[in-house]
Amino acid sequence: MKICEVLQKEAIQADLKAQNKKGILEELVGPVAGIANVHPEDLVKVLLERERLGSTGIGGGIGIPHGKMKDLESLVLGFGLSRKGVDFESLDGKPVHIFFLLITPENSTGLHLKLLARISRILKNEPFKDRLLGASDRDEILSIIKGEDEEF
């Protein structure tokens, strides 16, 4: 599964403003909640519950908050850039700048894991991360992700 098969342009945020984990999650879920037709508060609650198990700040300036929702019809993906970076309790203790938000239906474990693995894999590419950090708007972000998505 390619990232661009599920990432909608409306779910890309080029300039997240929040300065803490909860604020970032609230900001990220805004457009995703609309696409998934769920209440933003419910989505934030699911993500915070997952964060209690261990941070989804995986290091290297990357956060992949994710969770599963019972009444969700299909997988939804969001993306956000924090220009300043935020303390996301990352594994390496460094600020997180790049966020992929993944919400999946409760019964779709295989799909969830495949997409998480794909996102993790492309984010190991430092030039790709640098291009994302330099992107000015959602169109440029989507173009960069599409370009990388084609190569994997």
Tokens representing residue 40 in the block: 């933003």
Q: Of 6-15, 78-87, 115-124, where does mean pLDDT reach its minimum?
A: 115-124
Q: How far is CA 20 from CA 42, 56, 125, 130, in A?
A: 19, 14, 26, 22
pTM, whole model, 2 decimals? 0.95
Residue boundaries of the structural domains of the chain = 3-146
CATH of domain 3-146: 3.40.930.10
Please state the separation of Cα 61 from the chain's center in Å.
12
Do the beta carbons of residue 7 and residue 79 sit within 8 Å? Answer: yes
Selecting among 39, 66, 97, 112, the annotated active-site residue is 66
Q: Is 66 a catalytic residue?
A: yes
Tens of pLDDT, residue by residue over 125-140, are 999 999 999 999 999 9
